[in-house]
Amino acid sequence: METFFSPQLLEKISQKMHDQQHKPGLYVVATPIGNIFDISLRAIHILKKSQYIFAEDTRQSRKLLDFYHIETPTISCHEHNECGSSVVSKIKNDEIYALISDAGTPLISDPGYKIVNWCLSREINVFPVPGASSIMAGLSAAGLPTDTFTFCGFLPAKSAARRSNLTYLKTAKSTLVFLESPQRLLNTLKDMLEIFEDRRCCICREITKFFEEFKRENLSKLAEYFSENNPVGEFVIIVAGNEGNYVDESAIFSELARLLEKESLKSSVEKIAQKHKFSKKRLYEKALEIKGEKP
């Protein structure tokens, strides 16, 4: 078996770890998002030194812990029991504890917020142990601007709520980062295409895993691709921000309402769409709403 570390380096690492002084408290530890080797030496050290490891799914986490011979007891800590007696009764001021999620950095679209705040409210230290994150990994390889970005998490499952969220984000200049399930990916891309128009996008699939894939195309091409190819895996969607001028929808809709008083619905929609380069479908729906008719 290939040896990555010489005996001398292993001894040096071991001594350095032994010499480190870790304050008592809760350590928020990032774990791999796919590739089991994407974990820091410090993370392994903290997990071994901890009194308990609070894990989102103890069965899932045990696979990682067993691989690295970490025998620390685990306690289930998910969104429904973060501050339950089974969790908080174990925490004392003078010991070290670790919080991990199923994959990646805890609290980023994962449980952990309640227990972190519970600790802080009782003056128990909270420390980050940084590492893998699907959001940062996706951004680093997407080829889109990273000077400013907005993490939007998972969009709502229902179409109306999802479209409302996307409409709110339409004018944002920053790069937009979303998480999405394979079941909703295609509908999300179609809604993005209609509301954002044909922007640049990167679909990151199964980041760091065996079937890792990055598809960098405009939204129209990606919607077409996933219409013909069934999405499988975990997805991060990264979309370019609004690179054009600010679009004031309320002003456009007010102009549409005034025009509807003088002209037909079809004529009004076509004129406003052409003038402002705006979605005809959105204008048609708004025109029906203004006239008191159901779309």
3 pLDDT more than 70: no
Q: Which amino acid is at 227?
A: S
Tell me the per-residue pLDDT of 241-274, one tens digit each, with 9 for 90 and over: 998 755 677 888 888 999 999 999 999 999 998 8
Question: What are the strands, taking DSSP E only, across 222-286?
Answer: 235-239
Annotation: CATH topology of 7-132: Cobalt-precorrin-4 Transmethylase; domain 1 (3.40.1010)
> What does the block give as tokens for 91?
């925490």
Q: State the pLDDT at residue 149.
A: 97
Predicted confidence at residue 172, as pLDDT, reads 93
| pLDDT tens-digit series, residues 195-230 | 999 999 999 999 999 999 999 999 999 999 999 999
Which comes out higher in pLDDT, residue 3 or 230?
A: 230
Give the pLDDT of residue 245.
58
- Residue 46 is predicted with a pLDDT of 96
Assign domain 135-239 one CATH number from 3.40.50.2000, 3.30.950.10, 3.40.50.720, 3.40.50.620. Answer: 3.30.950.10
pLDDT digits (tens, 9 = 90+) for 38-79: 999 999 999 999 999 999 999 999 999 999 999 999 999 988
Phi and psi at residue 81, to the nearest 5°: -135, 20
Q: Token pair for residue 199? A: 């922007």
Q: Euclidean distance between the first and final Cα of the chain, in Å?
A: 66
Q: For 83-130, write each residue's pLDDT tens digit.
A: 888 888 999 989 999 999 999 999 988 889 999 999 999 999 999 999
Any idea of the CA torsion for 257, 262, 264, 269, to the nearest 10 degrees?
Answer: -40
Residue 295: the pLDDT is 52
Q: Spell out a b/e string for 173-192, using b for 16 or more CB atoms within 10 Å of the CB, else e.
A: ebbbbbbbeeebbbbbbbbb
What are 167-201's pLDDT values in tens digits? 999 989 999 999 999 999 999 999 999 999 999 99
Backbone angles phi, psi at 277, to 5 degrees: 55, 50
Cα 59 vs. chain centroid, distance in angstroms?
23
pLDDT on residue 1? 37
Question: What's the mean pLDDT when you consider all of the chain?
Answer: 91
- Rounded CA separation 40/29 (Å): 10
Q: Could you report the per-residue pLDDT of 266-291, keeping only the tens digit for each?
A: 999 999 988 887 888 889 888 998 88
Domain spans in the chain, listed from the N-terminal domain onward: 7-132, 135-239, 249-290
Binned at pLDDT 50, 70 and 90, residue 17 comes out as: confident
**In contact, 219 and 198? CB cutoff 8 Å:** yes
Are 47 and 98 in contact by the 8 Å Cβ rule? The answer is yes
